[in-house]
Amino acid sequence: DDPLLSIRNLQTYFHTDDGVVKAVDGVSFDVDRGETVCIVGESGSGKSVTSESITQLIPIPPGEIVGGEVYFDGEDVTELSTGELQELRGGRIGHVFQNPQGALNPVYTVGYQIREAIDAHHDLSKAEARQRAIRLLEDVGIPEAATRIDDYPHEFSGGMKQRVVIAIALACEPDLLIADEPTTALDVTIEAQILDLLRDLQDEYDMSIVFITHDLGVVAEIADRVVVMYAGKVMETGSVEDIFENSAHPYTEALLECLPGQSNLEPIPGTLPSATDPPDGCRFHDRCEYATEECRVGDQPALSEIEDGHGVSCVHWQRGSDGLPEPTDVRG
C-alpha cells in the first residue's frame, strides 16, 4: 500500500526582519495507514512547523512553503486551493494542540462546538448531530456524555477538556490525526490516560497519527516510527526499536541520555544554531562530541539508510569502530 502521507523535501521558511528563517529545510518522511509517527526534537527544531505545513496552518505570509511536496492519499496538498485546504482540515485531517483551553470557545457548550465540527463537513439533522456528538464524547471517555454535552468548557478539568478537543478532531472520522504536544500541559497521570485513549481511538477509528513531542518518554509510549528533528533537518528516522535500541545519531543518543533513569539528566549543552544563518556541514556539529573537520563543511550529511527503514544523517554513524573518531568531550 502507498503511504497515507508522504512528505518529500519539504522546505518551509519564514520571512522575518532578521532574515529568512529556514524552519523546515528539506524534510522527508512517510506515514503509513494506521501507524503513529512521532516527530521529536527540542523546541525550535521545526517539528511543529513541519506538522503545520501539512495543511498549511502556518501563517502565510510571513511563512512560505518554498519547496517540496506533501502527498496525502496520493495527492500533493501543497497545490490545493484555500477552499480545498479548509475542506481537508477538520475533515480527513484532524488537529489537536497543546492547550485545550485555547482550542475551545468559552461561550458555547461543548456539544455545540462538536456539532459545529460535524456540520462543517456533514449534512445531518440537529438530532442526528447531537446523537453523534454524544457518541464522540463517549468514545473519548467522558462519563455521562448525554448530560455533559450541555456543559461549558470551564466545567471540565484540563484532561477532560483535552478529551473534548480530541472529540472535535474526530468529528469527521479523520484518516490522519495531527497531535502537537497534546499532553504537554497535563500532569503525568492525565498524560498517560490521554496517550492510552489515543492508542484506543487509533484502532477504533482506523487512523494514522502524527504526534509531535519534545519528550522521548512519550515517544516510547506511543510511536510506531520516529522522526528525530534538529534545526530544521531530519537527523534520524526509524522504528521505535531502531531509535531506542539501535540509535546511530549522536543527537538521538544525547536525547536518550536525558531520559529519566539515564546517566545524564542535564539537557544537551549548547543551543540550536542560528535559524537565519545555519552553519555549514552538520547542523549539530557545535554540540556534537564526535564532530571532525568533515562535519563542518558542505551540507547536512544525506539521510542514508543504514538498515531497512532506518535512516541516519551523520558521517560518523559507525563511530567507535576502528579508524573512526572517538568522542571528544565538548560538554565541558
- List of residues contacting ligand SF4 (CB under 6 A): 250, 282, 284-285, 288, 290-291, 295, 301, 314-316
Give yes or no for residue 55 binding Mg ion (CB under 5 A): no
Among 290, 314, 228, residue whose Cα is nearest residue 42: 228
For residue 64, which phi and psi values (nearest 5 degrees)?
A: -155, 135
Rank residues 48 and 183 by Cβ distance to Mg ion and give the closer one. 48
State the nearest-atom distance from the C-beta of 275 to Mg ion, in Å. Answer: 14
Return the C-alpha cell found at 66.
518554498
Indicate the residue among 97 and 290 with the shorter CB distance to ligand SF4.
290
Taking the C-alpha atoms of residue 195 and residue 186, their distance in angstroms, rounded to an integer, is: 11
Tell me the number of residues near Mg ion by CB under 5 A: 1
Question: Looking up cell 526499536, which residue turns up?
Answer: 241
| Cis upstream peptide for 62 (omega within 30°) | yes
Residue 48's binding partner out of ligand SF4, Mg ion, none, with CB under 5 to 8 Å set by partner kind? Mg ion
User: C-beta of 270: minimal distance to ligand SF4 in Å?
Assistant: 12
> Distance (Å, rounded) from C-alpha 228 to C-alpha 169?
25
The grid cell for 240 is 521505535
142 vs 282, beta carbon nearer ligand SF4: 282
Task: Give DSSP secondary structure letters for 284-321.
Answer: TGGG-TT--GGGGSSSPPP-EEEETTEEE--TTTTTTS
CA atoms within 13 A on the CB side of 156: 29
The interface partner of residue 301, options being ligand SF4, Mg ion, none and the CB cut-off 5 to 8 Å by kind, is ligand SF4
Please state the closest distance from residue 319 (CB atom) to ligand SF4, in A: 7
CA 43 to chain centre: 12
> Shortest distance, CB of residue 49 to Mg ion, whole angstroms?
8
Q: How far is the CB of 147 from Mg ion (least distance, A)?
A: 35
CB of 275 to ligand SF4, least distance (A): 18
Is the CB of 177 or the CB of 291 nearer to ligand SF4?
291
Shortest separation between residue 87's beta carbon and ligand SF4, angstroms: 41
Nearer residue to ligand SF4 within complex by CB, 14 or 251 = 251
Q: Say whether residue 50 binds Mg ion (CB under 5 A).
A: no
Rounded Cα distance, 146 and 277, in Å: 55
Alpha-carbon distance of 13 to 101, in angstroms, equals 29
Spatial separation of the C-alpha atoms in residues 151 and 133, rounded to whole Å: 13
Binder to Mg ion among 12, 48, 183, 213 (CB under 5 A)?
48
The span of 48-56, 109-117, 163-171, 322-330 binding Mg ion (CB under 5 A) equals: 48-56
- C-beta nearest to Mg ion: residue: 48
In which residue are the cell numbers 457518541 written? Answer: 135
Judged by beta carbon, residue 64 or residue 253, the one nearer ligand SF4 is 253
